[in-house]
Amino acid sequence: MAKNIDAQIMEKANSWLEGTYDEETKKTVKDLIENDPDELTDAFYKELEFGTGGLRGIMGVGTNRMNKYTVGSATQGLANYLKKNFKNHKQIKVAIAYDNRNNNTYFTRIAADVLSANGIKVYVFDDIRPTPELSFAIRKLKCQSGIVITASHNPKEYNGYKVYWDDGAQIISPHDTNVIEEVNNITSIDQVKFKGDKSLQETIGEKIDKEYIEQIRGLSLNPEIINKHKDLKIVYTPLHGTGVKLVPKALESLGFQNIIHVPEQDKQDGNFPTIDSPNPEESAALDMAIKKANDEGAELVMATDPDADRVGVAVKDKNGKFKLLNGNQTAALLVQYVISQWEKRGLIKGEEYIVKTIVTSEMIKDIANNHGVESYDTLTGFKYIAAIIREMEDKKTFIVGGEESYGYLVGDFVRDKDAVIAASMIAEAAAFAKENNGTLLDQLREIHLQYGFFKEGLKSVVKKGKKGAEEIQSMMDKFRNNPPKIISGSPVSRIRDYSKSIEISTETGNEYQIYFPESNVIQYFTEDDTKITIRPSGTEPKIKIYIGVKQDIYENDDYQQINDMLDVRINTIIKELDLY
């Protein structure tokens, strides 16, 4: 079998057989060489890189896998960079959190040991915690960095390693590339200091929890309405993850007293036994919670992903049937509620702003502008939203932000998407809607009547392994070099190529600079306000196509008919793009 394996792959694999790796690892590598060359290739054909979600991959042996050595090397690289970047600090400090993933405490222990072996003070949470609480802890404890062991909503075979900077946000340029450079400078696993210094490792937990929850409670805009509707029946599920630790406490701190659990899904389990995927973007993930809500007569369902930075929402309609909200709809409702209540209280002074990603609905920008609030766009990934917040600190006031992939933030004491905060504010918005004799679905209809019926679709094409990565790049080249002239009957008026930071007018051929970091993303804009964004995923082996369409709607129009018509338009666009 070995003769069919690429020479560079074999060289990497042999370095693991000959190096100071543990015997179990060597045995597994040898078995792959002899029996599974395809898996060996996938495991060694590249190094794990920091993408929009940091270091993330399938657990197993190899340079392209999450294991003791890739985690150790990443941590040693981070330690080396921290000691260079903060060389004037008397004591460099790093906080570490982890979710319910398999090998969670194992990878956490490796990271803590390597950091402390390098003389760095480490704060480690005593149990699973939401990723956004790590962001809060970094700022609270005045750390220079942070690590969370999580693969977010990926399948059970994945784990991950996200790095944060001293502002509590995920690392971006130049720090991300500099850390990778330090990792790449490690030519031998013997350069990694695995023997930890326990005197530099401190356990944290309940005190940070209380301070975090208190900050969330301070975000409430209508405590008197919550008190009036404190018995609002809310079904919540953490999907076996970290949200169980704090989401119910946060809701209770705001005054909600009728939080209904899904007991089977409160259990921490990295195998996610009750669901196919722990992703609240997928409707099946909420099935058990919706069944519980129907049994209990609840009005609102919320589900968070394993590290509790994303939240999915379902709301009961007038016919008593639960409807799932997509990420754009929830973001619009949250932005509308928070901004309108700020305006009602006279808090809009002209220096406030929101942030969204380029793939998120343009409806959110329209809502903000209508209330005199500025709106910023960023590349996909909440770290870019956090970068805007840092840039605007002490200049303007951040109110709320979000992205279509179910991630939202209210307030700036956390610098990442935060499902604990979002679930709390969504529940408050639901109570506000009830106070006004409606539901969140009624509120959404009102938004559409005012701003137009925006509808979004997402098509993902999975392409695994080295061959898949090449196919994805070939697809991107096709969309970049041979763009369509007409999409669903409407001429393409503008094209944005983020790899060159330019916008092209199709009418004149003129190019204009756009002020975004270079990224492998293409956008098409048509004359009928359709927006199409095409990009490779930063965390999964897939290419993603985001489609946004719009139709004016009036009071007497058939709401469902327009909804169906927009679905047809989205499906037509997917076929026209010929994704296969």
Same domain, 404 and 269: yes
Q: Is the CB of residue 97 less than 8 Å from the CB of residue 133?
A: yes
Q: Which of 51-55, 85-89, 173-177, 232-236 has the lowest mean pLDDT?
A: 51-55
Could you tell me if 503 and 550 lie in one domain? yes
Q: How far apart are CA 459 and CA 474, in angstroms?
A: 17
CATH number of 125's domain: 3.40.120.10
Same domain, 78 and 179: yes
| C-alpha to C-alpha distance for 274 and 130, rounded to whole angstroms | 20
> Which among 420, 439, 438, 431 has a CA at the least distance from the CA of 226?
431
The band of 465, judged by pLDDT with boundaries at 50, 70 and 90, is confident
- Confirm whether 477 is domain-assigned: yes
Q: CA-CA distance, 427 to 178, in Å (whole number)?
A: 41
Regarding whether 168 and 109 lie in a shared domain, the answer is yes
Tokens 């962001």 sit at which residue? Answer: 135
Give pTM, 2 decimals.
0.94
Residues serving a catalytic function are: 152
Look at residue 254 in the predicted model and tell me its pLDDT.
98
Q: Are residues 221 and 166 in the same domain?
A: no
Does some domain include residue 246? yes
Query: Residue 40 domain-assigned?
Result: no
What is the CATH classification number for the domain harbouring 533? Answer: 3.30.310
Q: What local confidence, expressed as pLDDT, does residue 1 receive?
A: 45
Q: Which amino acid is at 328?
A: N
My answer on whether 467 and 350 are in the same domain is no
* Residue that finishes a domain, picked among 451, 479, 494: 451
* pLDDT over 80 at 509, yes or no: yes
Among 171, 188, 204, residue at a domain's last position: 204
Q: Is residue 305 part of a domain?
A: yes
SS3 content of the chain, % helix, strand, coil (to 5): 40, 20, 35
Q: What DSSP line would sit under 22-46, residue for residue?
A: -HHHHHHHHHHHHH-HHHHHHHHSS
pLDDT of res. 487: 96
Residue 516 has pLDDT above 60, yes or no: yes
CA 231 to chain CA centroid, Å, is 31
Q: Does position 184 have pLDDT exceeding 90, yes or no?
A: no
Digit-coded pLDDT (tens) for 5-44: 889 999 999 999 999 999 999 999 999 999 999 999 999 9
More confident residue, 177 or 258: 258
Q: What is the pLDDT of residues 113-157, one digit of tens each?
A: 999 999 999 999 999 999 999 999 999 999 999 999 999 888 899
Which pLDDT tens digit goes with each residue over 94-110?
999 999 999 999 999 99
Helix axes 23-35, 37-44, angle to 10 degrees: 130
Position 464 scores a pLDDT of: 86
Work out the angle at residue 49's Cα, subtended by the Cα atoms of residues 47 and 55, and round it to the nearest 5 degrees.
110
In a domain, 328, yes or no: yes
| Residues 148, 110 share a domain | yes
The count of structural domains within the chain is: 3
What per-residue confidence (pLDDT) applies to 49? 73
Same domain flag for 382 and 255: yes
Single-letter code of the amino acid located at 323: K
Domain containing residue 473: 453-577
Give Cα 416 distance to the centre of its chain: 8
pLDDT at 366 over 90: yes
Q: Is residue 26 part of a domain?
A: no
Percent of the chain scoring above 90 in pLDDT: 90
Average pLDDT over residues 167-177: 92
**Residue 429 in tokens:** 């918005």
User: Of the candidates 512, 534, 529, 522, which has an alpha carbon nearest to the alpha carbon of residue 579?
Assistant: 534
Mean pLDDT score of the chain: 95
Stretch 78-91: mean pLDDT, rounded?
A: 96
End-to-end CA distance of the chain: give it in Å, rounded: 32
Residues 338 and 284 grouped into a single domain: yes
* 50 pLDDT above the threshold of 80: no
- Tell me whether the omega of the peptide bond preceding residue 174 falls within 30 degrees of 0, making it cis: yes
Calpha distance 102→66 (Å, rounded): 11
Tell me what the mean pLDDT of segment 504-533 comes to. Answer: 96
Q: Is 195 helix (H, G, I), strand (E, B) or coil?
A: coil
CA–CA dist 533, 480 (Å, integer) = 11
Residue 545 lies in a domain: yes
| 383 located within any domain | yes
Give the separation between CA 222 and CA 430, rounded to whole angstroms: 11
**pLDDT tops 70 at residue 315:** yes
**Residue 336 shares a structural domain with residue 445:** yes
pLDDT at 2: 55
Note whether 386 and 420 are same-domain residues: yes
| In the predicted structure, residue 443 carries a pLDDT above the cut 60 | yes
Last residue of a domain, one of 396, 418, 451: 451
Q: Residue 127's pLDDT is what?
A: 98
311-316/322-325 β-pairing: antiparallel
Is the pLDDT at 403 greater than 70? The verdict is yes
Strands 531-536 and 542-551: antiparallel
- The answer to whether residues 380 and 258 belong to one domain is yes
Average pLDDT of 476-496? Answer: 96
